Chain A
Amino acid sequence: MATTERDVRERDAVRVRRAVPRLRAADTHPVIRPRVRPGAETVVEFRGVSKLYGPGGIGLERATFAVNRQEMVFLVGATGSGKSTIMRLLIKELEPTEGTIRVAGRDLEEIERKKVPYYRRNVGVVFQDFKLLPTRTVYDNIAYALQVTGASRKQIRATLPDILHLTGLSTKLHNYPHQLSGGEQQRVAVARAFAGHPPLLLADEPTGNLDPETSIGIMQLLYRINRAGTTVIVASHDNEMVDRMRRRVIELRRGRIVRDEASGLYGSSDENTGELGDRLRRESK
């Protein structure tokens, strides 16, 4: 009997449900858990946020927007429009010049420098240049994200197969990054970002270095993670791909938000990963 997408979705959900309690048990550090109040749906909130890079260098100008739980949002705009600034502000790599950023109800300004690592464990990040550890295998790269939380080898061994299966990396466990294609490396980056099952996943130009077919695979993967319950924010300058995804789009120009719409293109959330892939391929022809 052929496996339907619904079966796949249910299996993914089971994997996620199985993995999360193991990870929580493994986490021996005072992790800053997102405190989503009952009924509160906002995961990310920017209120009048500006970021200046020295005199005249505007990274972001009075940006105000909110992203709800389980939403998939695309940030679009040309190079230097402020997409990456938003990402870097969200992982506290940068501090805003003014304004307030809240993640899961918590003001990021309140988090002390030494507590930042614990916060970052709840935000998965995928970069355009993958940022993998070159001296580690696929397995070790993904496991590192769990090791930093204090997970034991046994706990990691129990958790990782599900993530590897989800990202299609089960056969590449012992390969080093330089032995993988760009698409495979990006899958490892996604797997590492998702290893701790963060409630928020950020992807900064995740398909920037990839060919169209591989890009579709990565988008399907992010879509699948989003459907499993994770809020996903993707920065991209690939407008065509973003339009085809039919999700909410926030457009930036010179640091300003010029468009924020859950457009009419917003597709049916019932579309499964396979259907999404088929449609993306069809529409890209």
Chain B
Amino acid sequence: MKPAFFLKEATRSMRRNAVPSFAALASVLVTTLVLGVFIPVVQATNGAANDIRSRVLVDVDLNPSATNAEVARVKSELKGAPHVKSVQFVSKQQGYNEERKLNPQAFALVGYNPLPDIFRLTPTNPNESGTLRAELDQSSPPGVRLVTDPAIVDVQNRQAQTNTILSATRTIKLTMALLAGLLVFASVLLISNTIRLSLFSRRREVEVMKLVGATDWFIRWPFVLEGLFLGALGGAGAIGLLALAKITLVDPLANTFKLISQPNMIDFRLLVIILMASAIGVSAAGSGLSLRRFLRV
């Protein structure tokens, strides 16, 4: 292999086929740009969906006459139970204050605090809130019930609310995954089609190379390098535009909009690496693979 020769061939080819090369570069730039916008959007949406899912809770109501020792015992039992991520004690008074804020008129009518002391549990997986409820509920059959304690009166997982949250967030996540898949597919298709068109116009050149005794890889290397350069240039262009948009638009808005400033939003440096790797990888592999059919001479 002669890297210098292949490099020279690749640059010559780009110079001599400026229009198809520019078309390939433009398609890489546009698709990388779209991906660059879409990845953070998908991430932010997923982050928001996950945030909402984390609000799925299971409440364990305690016996009003439970002593402090019994409360401590129940707490340690709950902490040791499976499917429990975190345990938070909400006293009768705290609960009353919270609920009264949400529904002041109803509580004014009642006139006293009907709420018990509770433990608010966050399940390790929001989808398992039903299982967790069954494991703690004292009326569950012994095989299902994992914690038995007379201080536990009732276990609630706010069934309707939980179901709504779970199904809504599931739909959002699935839609985003589908859109992401479609976008990646369309990007690969667009880039490989542009490359194929550019190669199609040079198929006779490839045929001649084969007839004078060039091996497949001797012909392929310059094309792969060309794809690599065009991918890198297109990717760099897209990243430049994204950086400009980040500095001029996103960063100033980050203070105002919580979604943009989410801590789990992708790091820009990581995004740059992912986009560059995808642009270069798809273009180089696309060039090498699309050439295959023209090498059968």
- Please give the residue numbers on chain A whose beta carbons come within 8 Å of chain B beta carbons, in ascending order: 29, 91, 93, 114, 117-121, 125, 131-135, 144-145, 147-150, 192, 196
Contact = CB atoms under 8 A, between A and B. Distances in A.
A99 to B, nearest CB: 22
A120 B211 contact: yes
Interface string B182-216: 00000000000000000000001101111111111
Interface stretch (B9-17, B38-46, B110-118, B149-157): B9-17
Interface in B1-54: 2, 5, 12-13, 16-17
27 contacts: A29-B215, A91-B211, A93-B297, A114-B215, A117-B213, A117-B214, A117-B216, A118-B215, A120-B211, A120-B212, A120-B213, A125-B212, A131-B204, A131-B207, A131-B208, A131-B211, A134-B205, A144-B214, A145-B213, A147-B5, A148-B209, A148-B212, A148-B213, A148-B214, A148-B215, A148-B218, A149-B213
B212 A132 contact: no
Chain B interface bracket (under 10, 10 to 19, 20 to 34, 35 or more): 20 to 34
A222 B16 CA distance: 32
Contacts of B5: 147
Nearest to B205: A133
Contacts of A145: 212-213
A144 B212 contact: yes
A9 B2 CA distance: 37
B209 A135 contact: no
A113 to B, nearest CB: 9
Contacts of A135: 12-13, 16-17, 205
A153 to B, nearest CB: 9
A91 B207 CA distance: 13
A91 B208 CA distance: 12
Given A93-B297, A135-B13, A117 B205 contact: no
A94 B207 CA distance: 14
Contacts of B207: 131
Contacts of A144: 209, 212, 214
A117 B214 CA distance: 6
A196 B204 CA distance: 22
Most A CB within 10 A of own CB, among B5, B16, B213: B213
B8 to A, nearest CB: 10
Contacts of A133: 205, 208-209
B212 A192 contact: yes
Nearest to B214: A148
A94 B24 CA distance: 34
Given A135-B12, A135-B13, A148-B218, A118 B213 contact: yes
